[in-house]
Amino acid sequence: MGYLIIPENYKPLMSMQQTEQGIKLIKEFFQQNLSTGLQLRRVTAPLFVLKGMGINDDLNGVERAVTFPIKDLGDAKAEVVHSLAKWKRLTLAEYSVKPGYGIYTDMNAIRADESLGNLHSLYVDQWDWERTITADDRNITFLKRIVRKIYSAMLRTEYLINETYPQLEPFLAREVFFIHSEELRRLYPGKTPKEREDAICREHGAVFIMGIGGKLGDGEPHDLRAPDYDDWTTPNEDGFLGLNGDLLVWNPILEHAMELSSMGIRVDKESMLRQLELCGKQERRELYFHKKLLAGELPLSIGGGIGQSRLCMLFLQKAHIGEIQASIWPDDMRSECAKAGIQLI
Q: Residue 197 maps to which CATH number?
A: 3.30.930.10
Kindly report the pTM of this predicted structure: 0.94
Whether residue 216 contacts residue 188, with contact meaning beta carbons closer than 8 Å, is answered with no
Whether residue 2 is contained in a domain is answered as: no
Whether residue 5 is contained in a domain is answered as: no
Whether residue 10 is contained in a domain is answered as: no
Active site residues: 57, 111, 126, 246, 259, 262
59 pLDDT tier (thresholds 50, 70, 90): low
Average pLDDT rounded to a whole number, residues 132-146: 98
CA–CA separation, 185 vs 189, rounded Å?
6
Average pLDDT rounded to a whole number, residues 230-252: 96
Return the axis-axis angle of helices 140-164 and 16-38, rounded to nearest 10°. 150
pLDDT at residue 328 above 80? yes
pLDDT at residue 61 above 70? no
| Tens-digit pLDDT profile for residues 242-300 | 999 999 999 999 999 999 999 999 999 999 999 999 999 999 999 999 999 999 999 99
Whether residue 11 is contained in a domain is answered as: no
Neighbours of 286 (CB within 10 A): 10
Instruction: Name every residue whose Cβ is closer than 8 Å to that of residue 196 and which is 6 or more positions away in sequence.
Output: 184, 185, 187, 188, 222
CB-neighbour burial class of residue 7 (10 A; exposed 0-12, middle 13-18, buried 19+): middle
Whether residue 344 is contained in a domain is answered as: no
Give residue 3's pLDDT: 83
Backbone φ/ψ region at 78: left (φ over 0), alpha (ψ -120 to 50), beta: beta
Helix (H, G, I), strand (E, B) or coil at 297: coil
Q: Please give the residue range of the domain that contains residue 79.
A: 16-339
pLDDT at residue 4 above 70? yes
Tally of domains within the chain: 1
% of residues, the chain, pLDDT over 90: 89
Whether residue 9 is contained in a domain is answered as: no
Whether residue 40 is contained in a domain is answered as: yes
The better pLDDT of the pair 322, 66 is held by 322
Whether residue 212 is contained in a domain is answered as: yes
Report the DSSP pairing between strands 40-42 and 102-110.
parallel
| Tens-digit pLDDT profile for residues 216-225 | 999 999 999 9
